[in-house]
Amino acid sequence: MKRTRILLFMLSSLVLVACASPYDRGMQAYEEGRYQESIEHFESVKAWDEHADDAEVMISRASYKAGRQAYENGNWDKALQFLNQVRRDRYADARDLMGDVYYQKGREAYEEQNWTTAINHLLMVRPESGKYQEARRLLAEVRNQSSS
């Protein structure tokens, strides 16, 4: 009897998950920390859906969190991919984090003595970034090394 109840519960849960809207599936994935998956669900919310505006907000929030995770894992390109999608409430934070990413990419290129790539990445660090001064100091060093 107990197994039957468990089986019925599991089947009803599957039906509910399968019938959930893209927005609901996106929220579930977001709340479980599966940000990239949540973005995919939110992006499939149709413009006429009652949750369309909320889905746009959630895409921005999930993009920031996915970008932050990628940054913390040292995956610079993936971090930039997601941070470029941030639009709303975390826009300034995302731009600052992008400055950090470009600084890290420039620093790595410097260590590899890839001067042109280092210069290109360091020039992407904007004055608003917390890494701007460090990037400028490293840029001067890169230019000094590349001219030697």
Report which of 64, 58, 122 is spatially closest to residue 92, judged by C-alpha positions.
Answer: 64
**For the whole prediction, is pTM greater than 0.95?**
no
Three-state DSSP at 11 gives: helix
How does pLDDT run along the chain (148 residues), one tens digit per residue? 566 666 555 554 454 445 589 999 999 999 999 999 999 999 999 877 788 899 999 999 999 999 999 999 999 999 999 999 998 889 999 999 999 999 999 999 999 999 999 999 999 999 989 999 999 999 999 999 988 7
φ, ψ of residue 128 to 5 degrees: the values are: -75, -15
